[in-house]
Structure 1
Amino acid sequence: MNDDEQRQEADGERDFEERLRELLAEDAYTIRPSPAPFPAIRKRGVVERRRRVAAAGAALVTLAAMPVGAYAIGGGDAGGTTATTPTPSASASRTPSPTPSPTRPARPATAGQLLDGITFEQAADGLESCLDYSRSGPTHPGDTDLGTADGYRIILAMNSTGDSNAPGDGMYVVAVKDEPQPTRLICTIRDGEAQGLNTSVGNDADVIPDEGPVFTDPNGGKLYQQSIIDRGNWKLPFRWGLIGTVKPSVAKVTVSYGNSSSQAVLDHGWFVASGVLNEQVTLAPHIKGYDADGKLLYDSDDDKYYQRTLP
């Protein structure tokens, strides 16, 4: 083998060795891969955990926002899901609604204004019934809201005698209030139910500039009269009542009616008289008012506005 042939053979061996080394290096990388990029994997894991925590927090917020009586969704027909009966959360506590206390009017100045065995509770219930009665009927322009019973003061409760115009005995309840404007109610109760309501709103005495210190309620005649149909043939004995207002100068009011008489009770600017009539009458009650010294300040016989005879 000459020199050229030897040189070519040596070069081929070197090429073969270099190629073999390259192949061995490639095989080694395939069998034992390079170390995993741990920092990148850890960072990806931290990000994923935070994403899951955020998702769980959002779910908790959604649950907290649901009302206690939220509907639970269950499987339904082919039409879709159906709402089941509301199920309150077991951990939720319910506070019972307070029972509203009944509204009650103020009591009269004296127990003697509740007559014929009528209790204050019965009179208050009667007033409540009449106020409900007033709200149950049709309303008209200009109607006044009579308010609630706790705004009133009962000044008289007594038996009522039926007559040809309004058959059936029952009970009268008279109540007054000052605010928001003077109001007087005469309630008619029969068989425990309101049967009629006579209302006066405003200060009647202001209509008559020269009215005296005692002013008889011009719409209170039903308390001391029976029907004009029965004139001269009233049912006896007959419980009667009389109400009106007095000025501060008046300290005493007396009323005589037929064979009965009464010293009126003064109750926050009102006078309240009552008695039992045992005879037929044609004259209205006779009223007198006195000051603290006993001086006569008013006599209904001298009052040009007072109707002294019965209709």
Structure 2
Amino acid sequence: MNDDEQRQGAQGEPDFEEQLRELLAEDAYTIQPSPAPYPAIRRRGVVERRRRVAAAGAVLVTLAAMPVGAYALSGGGSGGGVATTPTPSVSATRVPSPTPSPTPSGPARPATDGQLLDGITFERAADGLEKCLAYQRSGAMAGDTDPGTPQDYGIVLAMRSTGDSNTPGDGMYVVAVREKPEEIYLICNIKNGETQGITGFGNDADVIPDEGPVLIDPNGGKLYQQSLLDRGNWKLPFRWAVIGSVRPSVAKVTVSYGDSSAEAVLDHGRFVASGVLNQQVTLAPHVKGYDADGKLVYDSDEDKYYQRTLP
């Protein structure tokens, strides 16, 4: 090989490496990610987490469908682990949900029948929750902390889930809460009888000093938005929901979203609102809270921690 050929070869190697890095960066958003530890139910650093949640959500929503959601249960009691960025894996595969083992009793019913939507019965929602917990315990996405049994939880919401380019196929969302030893919310997604995703998070209502009387949970964004891949072209009509916490001073919560609106159900310090969207939107749900005298005490447009625009 002469000097010119050697120089051309040396120049070609960096070009190849650069192209490879670009391809890997692109594939990070299309290949299936490996399991990540179940969230942070630890309260340390909550303020910063809420400030970053919109950006983090924009990244997570672009990931391809995974066996379970962005998080899985991790140990440590009140000092649990922190959320980490998923590491892509080219060999991850979906594992069918195991058959749930019998439990002494099921979860508690929601405060109203209006929290069971789209014809989903309580029995079906309870079965879905049991499948999600069994999936967690099975080792398919096991962490250091046992998620408990259905009887430890109360169902807060059950509704249909709309498939999109990120997670094709319609299914069902079940939202449940466990009160003790520490309040934990679970959002489970089930399709064709199999667990598709589990997201878990704690109640941050008493953590942020300047938090208002209404806290819209930033981890519940998947309930009111579709994949970033489908931005501007959502599948409609779209069943949406907003969940969060309220202080005792709040007597009423309303939510408007695109061409739909709803008055939330207040359920033991939590609120749940839902509706059906028939138009494409760019703004997140607008949430307002009122006291017993009808005075406006919270407006999400004035909440510095709430992301008003969708990713």
Provide the TM-score with structure 2 as the length reference. 0.66
Please tell me whether residue 214 in structure 1 is matched to residue 219 in structure 2. Answer: no
Contact 2:161 2:172 in 1 (8 A): yes
What is the aligned partner in structure 1 of residue 234 from structure 2? Answer: 234
TM-superposition CA deviations, 1:195-251 (whole Å, max 9, x none): 110111x33223321100000111000000000000000000000011000001000
Aligned to 2:218, the other structure's residue is in SS state: coil
What is the aligned partner in structure 1 of residue 110 from structure 2? Answer: 108
TM-superposition CA deviations, 1:173-192 (whole Å, max 9, x none): 00012111010000001001
Rounded Cα–Cα distance in structure 1 between residues aligned with 2:241 and 2:193: 21
What is the aligned partner in structure 2 of residue 171 from structure 1? Answer: 172
Rounded Cα–Cα distance in structure 2 between residues aligned with 1:171 and 1:138: 20
What is the aligned partner in structure 2 of residue 146 from structure 1? Answer: 147
What is the aligned partner in structure 2 of residue 121 from structure 1? Answer: 123
With CA pairs under 8 Å and 6+ residues apart, which has the higher RCO, 1 or 2? 2
Q: Which runs of 5+ in 1 are unaligned?
A: 1-99
Computed over aligned residues only, the root mean square deviation of the Cα atoms, in angstroms, reads 1.4
TM-superposition CA deviations, 1:49-98 (whole Å, max 9, x none): xxxxxxxxxxxxxxxxxxxxxxxxxxxxxxxxxxxxxxxxxxxxxxxxxx
What is the aligned partner in structure 2 of residue 53 from structure 1? Answer: none
What is the aligned partner in structure 1 of residue 265 from structure 2? Answer: 265
The letter for the 2-side match of 1:282 is: T
Q: Percent identity?
A: 76
Contact 2:283 2:310 in 1 (8 A): yes
What is the aligned partner in structure 2 of residue 67 from structure 1? Answer: none
What is the aligned partner in structure 2 of residue 162 from structure 1? Answer: 163
The letter for the 2-side match of 1:230 is: D
Aligned to 1:147, the other structure's residue is in SS state: coil
Whose helix proportion is higher, 1 or 2? 1
- Per the TM alignment, residue 101 of structure 1 is displaced from its structure 2 partner at its CA by 5.8
The letter for the 2-side match of 1:181 is: E
Q: Which runs of 5+ in 2 are unaligned?
A: 1-101
What is the aligned partner in structure 2 of residue 310 from structure 1? Answer: 310
Counterparts in 2 of 1:21-40, with a 5 A limit? none
What is the aligned partner in structure 2 of residue 290 from structure 1? Answer: 290
1:138/1:184 CA distance change after superposition, 3 Å: closer
* Structure showing greater Rg: 1
Please tell me whether residue 203 in structure 1 is matched to residue 203 in structure 2. Answer: yes
The letter for the 2-side match of 1:108 is: P
Rounded Cα–Cα distance in structure 2 between residues aligned with 1:262 and 1:303: 20
Rounded Cα–Cα distance in structure 1 between residues aligned with 2:274 and 2:103: 33
